[in-house]
Structures are given as structure tokens and as C-alpha cells.
């Protein structure tokens, strides 16, 4: 396992996930989240919460890249990363949305939107991981 590529792919995944999160969750779904002011933190919440969130995202990306590096098949690169992201997205997106629906005071519409957004998010992140983390070529 190449640790430099692992960290580079995890950093790239973190950046892509942060941008996606800002655009989708922070802007596109913001009005839906606003319907639940007693559930979600306000926009002016302490930056400490964001720091914890980004550290958690990076840790999760490290795990995702290790999983990816252990399961690389013949077709490496973007296509393999996209397949990896689709599988992980189906797992994480549906799991996260169903747990959120069961534990947070949110409606079915937001639950479905979060599941779809999570699946798309991981397809995008998986593709980036596949592009950045290239398997070592055997001679």
C-alpha cells in the first residue's frame, strides 16, 4: 500500500466531499433543513463543530481509500472508482438516511433527498479516489 497516494486520495476525496456538501446540503437542501430548526445546528454555530466534521470526513476518506486499495480490480481509475463509489454510496446513503429518519425529527421527503444525495456524493467521491489512487503497475 502506498501511503502517499492513500493520503493524497483521502485529501482529494475530502475536498470534493466538502465542496459537494456545501453545494448540495448547504445550498440546495438548505430550505428543507430549515424546516427543522430544532434538529439541525444554526448557520452561525461554533466553528469547532465544522472542524470536528471535517476531521471526521477525512478519517472516513482514509478508510474508504484503504477499502478501495484492497479491492482494486483490473479496471482501475475513474471507472473502478465510480463502481466503488456506487456500492459505498448505496450502503452509506441508505444507512445514513434511514438512521437519520429513525433518530431525528425529520420527514420522509428529507429522508429520501438525503439518501439520493448520499448516493450521488459517494459516486463522485469514489470516482475521484479512483483517479487519484492509481494501483502500482506490475512489470
Query: Which pTM value belongs to this model?
Result: 0.72
Q: In the chain, pLDDT over 70 holds for what percent of residues?
A: 91
Sign of CA dihedral 85, 91, 97, 99: negative
Give the mean pLDDT of the chain. Answer: 85
Q: What is the pLDDT of residues 74-126, one digit of tens each?
A: 566 888 889 889 988 888 888 888 878 876 778 889 989 999 999 999 999 99
Residue 22 has pLDDT above 70, yes or no: yes
Distance CA 137, CA 26 (A): 40
Residue 136 has pLDDT above 70, yes or no: no
Distance CA 133, CA 26 (A): 28
Amino acid at each position: 500500500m502506498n501511503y502517499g497516494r492513500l493520503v493524497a486520495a483521502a485529501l482529494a476525496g475530502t475536498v470534493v466531499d466538502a465542496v459537494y456538501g456545501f453545494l448540495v446540503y448547504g445550498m440546495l437542501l438548505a430550505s428543507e433543513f430549515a424546516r427543522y430548526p430544532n434538529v439541525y445546528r444554526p448557520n452561525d454555530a461554533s466553528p469547532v463543530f465544522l472542524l470536528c466534521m471535517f476531521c471526521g470526513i477525512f478519517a472516513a476518506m482514509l478508510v474508504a481509500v484503504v477499502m478501495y486499495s484492497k479491492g482494486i480490480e483490473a479496471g482501475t481509475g475513474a471507472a473502478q472508482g465510480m463502481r466503488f463509489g456506487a456500492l459505498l454510496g448505496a450502503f452509506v446513503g441508505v444507512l445514513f438516511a434511514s438512521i437519520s429518519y429513525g433518530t431525528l425529527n425529520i420527514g420522509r421527503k428529507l429522508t429520501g433527498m438525503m439518501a439520493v444525495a448520499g448516493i450521488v456524493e459517494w459516486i463522485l467521491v469514489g470516482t475521484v479516489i479512483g483517479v487519484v489512487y492509481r494501483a502500482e503497475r506490475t512489470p
